[in-house]
Amino acid sequence: MAKKSSILLIYTGGTIGMINDPISGQLKPFNFKRLLDEVPELRKFDIKIDTFSFEKPIDSSNMHPAIWIELVKLIEKNYLKYDGFVILHGSDTMAYTASALSFMLENLGKPVILTGSQLPIGTIRTDGKENLITAIEIAAAKRNGKPSVPEVCIYFEFKLFRGNRTIKVNAEHFRAFTSPNYPSLADAGVHLNYNDAAIMHYPKGKLKIHTDMNLNVAVLKLFPGITKEVVDAILGIKNLSAIVLETFGAGNAPTEKWFVHAIEKAIKNGLIIFNVTQCNAGRVEQGLYQTSSELARVGVVGGSDITTEAAITKLMFLTGKEKNHKKIILQLGENIRGEQEGK
């Protein structure tokens, strides 16, 4: 008989575990034990579920790379003990955390499924129960003795997405997430249908965690009329290692001389600039239009179809672990964890 699967359920906070504060009327995180009491269905599972709660559950707007480091250390410490991990997390920054964890967990061979909800689990119409129950089922699922989905994912409203391909698109609907440039990894209906062709292969090497995340990064979002003062202020930030340049359409930017010069000068001074489109879907193709040729010429790195969430965490990760500029730039253009199209 196959051994019972076991998962570690990690609670960081988020709406799923919040209650209405009777005094202020605001939503605040509450304790994990109460959260589990709200889902007696979990006891019916033939899965061993252990739990770990962060001492102070947070609204995910307070998420920080220091907590990502705690999470990957926790996963490493418990890696051999469990078949999979479920992380309860606020939806607001879930796509950032999922992206960061995908980079920080090299050679991940087990599921790490992030989920949460739009309504607290204690409310009658909550979306939290289904999200939690199915996320646990996916984290415990195996095929031929191996985990069905050995990657960092987000499960929300009947869809399993690759974490570093996911963006939050709705602050109200239960369908809060989408993965515009990569297919879903599984769809939950009457059956749980896995999209095997899209799921990452089991890794060859052993799990290796990375905890050096460099926070000297920024996002510069372009808009028509952006002034030289704004651009110079961001590019001139002391000790800045890299920025995500959020451009228009297929990676286009103004061709005004002051702008191109500012970008060129920053790159010459050692800043890494990663070009990501403001569009949800599609990709950056530097050189397709005249308005992106200059960026390519001065050394901006095209980010293909990567999301901003994955791009900023990829920059933190690469500039944290690697000091050689050429190597960072090379890896920025590559697909290292399934986060973008590329070799």
CA distance 327 to 272: 12
Site map (CB under 6 A) of ligand ASP, residues 41-60, x = contact = ------------------xx
Separation CA 214–CA 196 (nearest Å)? 34
CB of 111 to ligand ASP, least distance (A): 21
Which 297-336 residues touch ligand ASP, going by CB under 6 A? none
Q: How far is the CB of 56 from ligand ASP (least distance, A)?
A: 13
Does 65 sit near ligand ASP (CB under 6 A)?
Answer: no
* Continuous H helices in the chain: 32-37, 65-78, 94-104, 128-140, 228-235, 257-268, 290-298, 308-321, 325-332
User: What are the distances in angstroms from CA 120 to CA 70, 98, 168, 214?
Assistant: 25, 21, 18, 34
Whether 15 is a known active-site residue: answer yes
The angle, 0 to 180 degrees and rounded to 10, between the axes of the packed helices 308-321 and 325-332 is 150
Beta strands 84-88 and 112-115, pairing class: parallel
Count CA atoms within 13 Å of residue 53 on its CB side: 15
- By CB under 6 A, name the one of 97, 118, 179, 184 that touches ligand ASP: 118
Q: How many residues bind ligand ASP (CB under 6 A)?
A: 11
DSSP-derived letter for residue 21 is -
285 lies in the binding site for ligand ASP (CB under 6 A): no
Chosen residue from 9, 10, 15, 251 binding ligand ASP by CB under 6 A: 15
Catalytic residue among 12, 15, 97, 313: 15
**Span interacting with ligand ASP, options 13-21, 248-256, 283-291, 306-314, rule CB under 6 A:** 13-21
Specify the DSSP element, H or E, that contains 153. strand 152-156
For ligand ASP, give the closer residue by CB, 59 or 187. Answer: 59
When CB distances to ligand ASP are compared, the closest residue is 90
Q: Which of 65, 90, 147, 251 binds ligand ASP (CB under 6 A)?
A: 90
Is 92 near ligand ASP (CB under 6 A)? yes
Q: What is the dihedral of CA 153, 80, 208, 55, to 10 degrees?
A: 70
* Nearer to ligand ASP (CB atom), residue 65 or residue 90: 90
Residues taking part in catalysis: 15
Q: Which residues bind ligand ASP (CB under 6 A)?
A: 13-15, 59-61, 90-92, 116, 118
